[in-house]
Structures are given as C-alpha cells and as structure tokens.
C-alpha cells in the first residue's frame, strides 16, 4: 500500500516535470529557442495561482480565494505574457541574447520572490494553497491517486494539444523556421511573430506546471525555483530527445527516476552531515551526463533534430569547425 | 547620498569588467556565450586559496606586506591560480566545446556550457562545502580621502592592478600580431583563415586570457568580499550585461560596461537597498537590447 502511494506521488511529480519539459520542447525542440530561465516561468505560474486562490492574508497582497481552475488559467495568462515580453525584447537579435535574457528573468523572478514580501511572502513563501481533493488528505493513498489522476489528465491534454499543434500549419511553420529560416521567410512567414507565439505558449505551459505543483504540495517558497530546476528540465528534454513530445514525457519520468533514486541512495550511503555534499555530487553526475549526451547522442532517445548545419550559416560553421581543430 | 558609492562601484565594476573581458572574447571569437565563465572565476579563486594555504603550511605564517592584508604568498598563489584557470579553460574546450563547435550548432555549445557550469560549481561545493571562506580575516582601517569617501589600501592596490591588466590586454589586442589575429578572426572567420591565421592558436590565447582574468576577478572578490562556490555564478548576469553594454568583442567596452554596471549597482544599493542589487544588471541589459543592441562600441554583425 505504501509502495503504491509512493508510486503515485513519484509519478505525479514526474508528470509535472513532464509538463514543464513539454513547454520547453515547444520552445527549443520545435522552434529552436533557448530558454535557460525556465525556473522563472514556473515560479511565475506557481506564485500567480497561489495569490489568486489562497484565502485572504493580511500580511501580503491578495489571497483572493478564487477557485483553483481560475488560478491555473491566471497562471497561464501571466506566464504567457511574461514569455511574450521576453521574446519580443530579444527574438530579433542573435539566439544567445535570448539565452542571456531568460537567465536574467530567472534571476529577477527569484529576487522578487525573495524580497517582495508584500507580494510573495518573501523567503518563507506562501502556505495554505488550496489542494484539489484536500478533503481526502486523511487517506494519503486516495489523495495521492486522485492528484495523480488530475495531473495525468492535464498532462495528457497538453500532450495531445501539442501533438496537434506541431502537425498543424502553425507547427509546420515553426519547423520550417528552425530548419531554414531564409526559405521560410521568403514564403512570407514572419519569423519573429511566430517565434514570439511559440515562446509565449511554451511559457504558459511552464507556468501551468508551476501552478499544478503549487496546488499539489500546498506550499511554495523561492527555493523551489533555483537554477537547478532549469537544469533538470533541460536534461530531461535532451535525454528524451528534443523535438519529440513523447520523448519529453518519457525523458522526464526517466530522469526524475534516476534523480529520486540516486537521492535515496545517497541518503542511505552517507551520514546526515555529509548529505548536502553528496547532493552536490548528484548534480555533478547529471551535468556530466548532459554533456556526454550532447557529445555522443545529441538526438536523445526519440529526438528528430537533424545534425546537418544550417545552410544559411555555412560560412560561419566552416570557421567554427576550423576553430575546433 | 554619500559619494562612497563611487569607490564601491568602481571596485565591483573592476571585478565585473575583468570577467566581462573573457565573456566578450569568447563570444566574439568562438561565437558562443559561455555560461561556465563565472565558474572559472570560482575555480581560480579556490585554486589560489589552496596554494595560499599550501605556502602557509610550508613556510609558516608570513607577515602581510605593510599596509595590505596579504603578503607575498597571495601574489605567488594568484599567478599559479591564473595559470590553473587558463589550463582549466583549455581543458574544457578540448574535451567539450571544440568537439561541439565542429558540429556547427552554436547554441548546443551554449547548452553544454550551462551543463558544465552546473557540474563545475557543484564539484566545488562537494570539495570545499558551500560555507564561505576568506583569504584573511584581518580588518583593514579605511582611510578618509575627502568628500566623505573612505578607501582601504587593499582596494587601492586592486584598482591599480585592474588598470594595469586592462591596459596590458588592450595593448596585446591592438599592438601585437596575436591580438590582430584575434580581431581578424572575430570580424571575419573565413577570411582570417584564408590569409593564413592559425585559428587553433588564437582560440588557445582567447581561453588563456579569459581564464586568467576570470581568476584575478575571483581573487578580488575573495579579498574584498568572500569566497563561495556560487561567487562566479552570481557574477554571470552582470558580466553578460557588461559585455553586451560595451559591445560584443570590444575590450574597452567590456571594462567600461563593467564600471557602469558596478556604479549603478552601488548607487542602487544606497538608494533602494542591497537586496535588489542583482536586478540592476537585468534592467541595464534590457535597456541596451531595446535601445542599442550592438552596445556602446559594438559593430553591426555581418
């Protein structure tokens, strides 16, 4: 019974990660937009939904006591707007600028979460976030299973919607832009407009995942959204194979399994005072894993990303390959 | 407000500027933004710290040089640390970046640098724990120099050191054949190869300069603030912002950008509060990207 309960708990967390990875896959896998601040967008979603749904709190702004579904919708809207603004600022520039800007977004969101006590509760975070099926909390198994059902349903809907999107004309334009920007533009597609859209939708999905997580645990704090989250999700996507929605989901479950498993292992093998150090070793291992996959099998398990250099960049690519020799 | 923020800002700006030189060189010559650059800083600092303690263990306690908080062991260790960081950068390039670069997708290299940054930083945390340490716990008396400004001997020395290093790198870039080759490669890689520039050696020089200066910046932070595994990672956004503000590829630009951001940060600390310091570089970065994405001294990309 305990095992089943833990299994449900594990799978719920893994599926929430899958949702973030699906959002990243839309941004990176399908459109080629590099987001190293996704923890910021997840945090925006979590905090938005928490603000909208928690009961009134005198110590900070809001606590509007709205229904959970309103919170989730609000999270998607705010997350989408934040992503759209980020995209509009940087998508006319070189791809690296987007990376640097998203990194900055995550830093600023973290700062706001820590310091704007009136809005976010500061370092102590926000508690008493209403949980769906909170009345079932007395029987943990039932509670975990019903949460799993909700999260699975949301992930499935997102998965199907994204599959549909990537086959739709809209998705084909994104792929065309990724593969050969010049050809797509010459067919009259505005590269920047489509990219901002894709980035915004991806940001909205990440924010939704953050909201789901917040309502699942009932408590959020700035520590949940450190750069390590960004890093984990990237490894999940690369392992699964960028470009594939199925890969994103399976990669997330797999990597979260490895992560949770190695976490349990270190807690058995190391004494309590050594555990913080052992945890950092865990990150080293995952970081090395990411680099190895990029070197050895950049397509991951299910990826469809072609390895040929872009035609438009051939001169540059030639210079770079020489630089490496 | 007191004018003290000028000194604080110049010092922070020097640290940011020295780091930004490496960022801007990697970006313009190797064409990717290196997220592991901050961790070069931290590794260089810890290496320097290790050498300082090794010297301390061999020669016993060494008295610091007159008004400063450190003695010759730190100077020796700094040189060793610079060499170590340069080798670290070269090594990482050899096993990771150069291989991915040859596949021709610049953004994959950026991602790899992000992974490498996580791994490097956590390795430091594992080895040295996340507790902050210091080169010296001695407290220096700050001397008043007028206008309500106070400055310590350490701070004066480090400002001078920064000026000398920046001047040196600038002369290297503009007056030597190596520097001219670097500029050529950053402006037009294909043409640079055609005229017979040895690309591999230019790449090596780039990493050596970037790594060594990152180490100096880190040690400055170590002397004036504290040493932590996250010290470099926290400098990443200011360094990127400085490099972009100054214009990618421009060394005077990177340093000037660093000083501007350092002064703005110090001013914000006085006016708004220290907790919002990290937002300053983001605001400046966004402003530059909206108004003048090529930066102060940048050239439009061809």
Contact A325 B31 (CB under 8 A): no
Query: What would the pLDDT profile of B25-66 be if each residue is shown by its tens digit?
Result: 998 888 888 999 999 999 999 999 999 999 888 887 777 777
Task: For the full predicted model, state whether its pTM sits above 0.90.
Answer: no
b/e map of A32-64 (b: 16 or more CB within 10 Å)? bbbbbbbbbbbbbbbbbbbbbbbeeeeebeebe
Q: Which positions in chain B touch A317 (Cβ < 8 Å)?
A: 104
Could you tell me which chain B residue has the CA closest to the CA of A238?
Answer: B111
Query: What would the pLDDT profile of B214-240 be if each residue is shown by its tens digit?
Result: 999 999 999 988 999 999 999 999 999
Q: Which residues numbered 263-302 in A keep a CB inside 8 Å of some CB on B?
A: 276-278, 280-284, 286-288, 290-291, 294-295, 298
Query: What would the pLDDT profile of A141-177 be if each residue is shown by its tens digit?
Result: 788 888 889 899 999 999 999 999 888 998 888 888 8
- Chain B nearest CA to A274, separation (Å): 9
Query: What would the pLDDT profile of A56-107 be if each residue is shown by its tens digit?
Result: 777 777 777 788 889 899 999 999 999 999 998 888 777 788 888 999 999 9
> Least CB-CB distance to A89: which of B114, B279, B290?
B290
The answer to whether A43 and A225 have CB atoms below 8 angstroms apart is yes
Q: Please say if the pLDDT value at position B174 is more than 70.
A: yes
Of the candidates B29, B34, B32, B33, the one whose C-alpha atom is nearest the C-alpha of residue B180 is B29
The structural domains of chain B, with segments of one domain joined by +, span 4-291
Q: Which positions in chain B touch A278 (Cβ < 8 Å)?
A: 126
Query: What would the pLDDT profile of A197-243 be if each residue is shown by its tens digit?
Result: 999 999 999 999 999 999 888 889 998 898 889 988 998 998 888 88
Q: Which positions in chain B touch A294 (Cβ < 8 Å)?
A: 100, 108, 111-112, 115
The predicted structure's pLDDT at residue A106: 93
Contact B278 A316 (CB under 8 A): no
- Chain B nearest CA to A289, separation (Å): 9
Burial of B58 (0-12, 13-18, 19+ CB in 10 A): exposed
Of the candidates B108, B100, B35, the one whose C-alpha atom is nearest the C-alpha of residue A305 is B108
| Cα B269 from chain centre | 21
Whether the CB of B201 is below 8 Å from some CB of chain A: the reply is no
| Cα B279 from chain centre | 19
Whether the CB of B90 is below 8 Å from some CB of chain A: the reply is no
Whether the CB of B175 is below 8 Å from some CB of chain A: the reply is no
Average pLDDT over residues A303-324: 44
Mean pLDDT, all residues of chain B: 88
Q: Which of A33, A104, A117, A123 to mutate to test the interface with B (most CBs of B within 10 A)?
A: A104
Average pLDDT over residues B5-12: 90
Residue B18's pLDDT band (cuts 50, 70, 90): very high
For chain A, what percent of residues have pLDDT higher than 70? 92
Which region among A164-168, A269-273, B177-181, B290-294 has the lowest average model confidence (pLDDT)?
Answer: A269-273
Q: Which positions in chain A touch B120 (Cβ < 8 Å)?
A: 287
Contact A97 B100 (CB under 8 A): no
Mean pLDDT, all residues of chain A: 83
Average pLDDT over residues B269-288: 89
Q: Which positions in chain A touch B102 (Cβ < 8 Å)?
A: 320-321, 324-325
The predicted structure's pLDDT at residue A253: 93
The two tokens of residue B233 are 């990672």
Q: Which positions in chain B touch A298 (Cβ < 8 Å)?
A: 103, 108
Burial of A307 (0-12, 13-18, 19+ CB in 10 A): exposed
Contact A104 B286 (CB under 8 A): yes
| Cα A99 from chain centre | 15
- Chain B nearest CA to A53, separation (Å): 28
- Chain B nearest CA to A311, separation (Å): 11
The predicted structure's pLDDT at residue A322: 38
Place of tokens 């500061």: A122
The predicted structure's pLDDT at residue B212: 95
The predicted structure's pLDDT at residue A42: 96
Q: Which helix (H) or strand (E) holds B144?
A: strand B143-144
CATH 1.10.3470 fits B4-291, yes or no: yes
ipTM, two decimals, is: 0.87
Average pLDDT over residues A175-187: 81
Q: Please say if the pLDDT value at position A325 is more than 80.
A: no
Contact B130 A276 (CB under 8 A): yes
Higher-confidence residue: B129 or A309?
B129
Contact B103 A97 (CB under 8 A): no
């Amino acid at each position: 019974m305990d095992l089943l309960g833990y299994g449900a708990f594990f799978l719920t967390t893994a599926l929430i990660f899958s949702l973030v990875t699906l959002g990243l896959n839309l941004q990176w896998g399908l459109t080629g937009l590099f987001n190293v601040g996704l923890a910021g967008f997840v945090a925006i979603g979590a905090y938005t939904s928490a603000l909208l749904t928690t009961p009134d709190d005198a110590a900070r702004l809001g606590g509007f006591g709205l229904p959970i579904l309103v919170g989730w919708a609000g999270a998607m809207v705010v997350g989408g707007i934040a992503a759209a603004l980020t995209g509009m600022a940087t998508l006319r520039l070189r791809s690296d600028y987007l990376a640097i800007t998203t990194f900055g977004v995550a830093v600023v969101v973290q700062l706001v979460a820590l310091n704007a006590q009136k809005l976010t509760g500061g370092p102590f975070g926000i508690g008493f976030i209403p949980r769906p099926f909170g009345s079932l909390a007395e029987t943990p198994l039932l509670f975990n299973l019903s949460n799993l059902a909700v999260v699975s349903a949301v992930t499935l809907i997102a998965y199907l919607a994204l599959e549909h999107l990537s086959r739709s004309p809209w998705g084909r334009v994104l792929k065309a832009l990724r593969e050969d920007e010049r050809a797509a533009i010459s067919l009259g597609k505005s590269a920047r407009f489509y990219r901002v859209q894709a980035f915004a939708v991806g940001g909205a999905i990440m924010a939704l995942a953050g909201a789901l997580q917040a309502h699942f645990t009932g408590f959020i704090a700035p520590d949940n959204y450190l750069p390590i989250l960004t890093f984990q999700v990237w490894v999940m996507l690369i392992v699964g194979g960028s470009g594939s929605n199925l890969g994103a989901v399976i990669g997330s479950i797999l990597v979260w399994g490895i992560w949770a498993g190695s976490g349990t292992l270190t807690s058995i093998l190391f004494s309590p005072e050594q555990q913080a150090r052992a945890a950092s070793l865990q990150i080293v291992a995952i970081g090395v894993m990411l680099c190895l996959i990029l070197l050895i099998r950049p397509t991951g398990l299910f990826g469809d990303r072609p390895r040929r250099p872009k035609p438009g960049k051939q001169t540059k690519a030639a210079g770079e390959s020489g630089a490496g020799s | 407000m007191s004018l003290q923020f000028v000194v604080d800002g110049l010092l922070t700006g020097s640290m940011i500027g020295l780091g930004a030189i490496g960022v801007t060189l990697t970006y313009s010559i190797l064409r990717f933004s290196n997220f592991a650059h901050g961790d070069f800083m931290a590794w260089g600092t810890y290496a320097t710290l290790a050498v300082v303690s090794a010297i301390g263990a061999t020669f016993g306690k060494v008295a610091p040089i007159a008004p400063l908080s450190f003695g010759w062991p730190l100077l020796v260790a700094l040189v060793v640390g610079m060499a170590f960081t340069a080798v670290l950068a070269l090594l990482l390039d050899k096993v990771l970046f150069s291989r991915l670069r040859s596949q021709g997708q610049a953004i994959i290299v950026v991602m790899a640098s992000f992974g490498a940054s996580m791994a490097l930083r956590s390795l430091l945390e594992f080895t040295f724990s996340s507790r902050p340490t210091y080169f010296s716990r001695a407290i220096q008396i700050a001397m008043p120099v007028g206008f309500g400004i106070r400055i310590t001997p350490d701070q004066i020395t480090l400002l001078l050191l920064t000026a000398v290093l920046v001047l040196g790198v600038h002369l290297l870039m503009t007056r030597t054949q190596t520097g001219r080759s670097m500029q050529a490669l950053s402006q037009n890689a294909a043409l640079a190869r055609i005229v017979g520039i040895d690309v591999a050696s230019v790449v090596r020089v780039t990493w050596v300069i970037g790594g060594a200066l990152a180490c100096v910046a880190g040690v400055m932070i170590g002397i004036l603030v504290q040493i932590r595994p996250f010290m470099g990672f926290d400098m990443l956004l200011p360094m990127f912002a400085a490099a972009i503000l100054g214009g990618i590829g421009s060394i005077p630009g990177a340093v000037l950008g660093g000083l501007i951001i350092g002064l703005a940060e110090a001013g914000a600390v006085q006016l708004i509060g220290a907790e919002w310091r990290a937002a300053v570089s983001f605001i400046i970065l966004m402003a530059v990207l909206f108004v003048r994405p090529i930066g102060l001294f940048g050239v439009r990309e061809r």
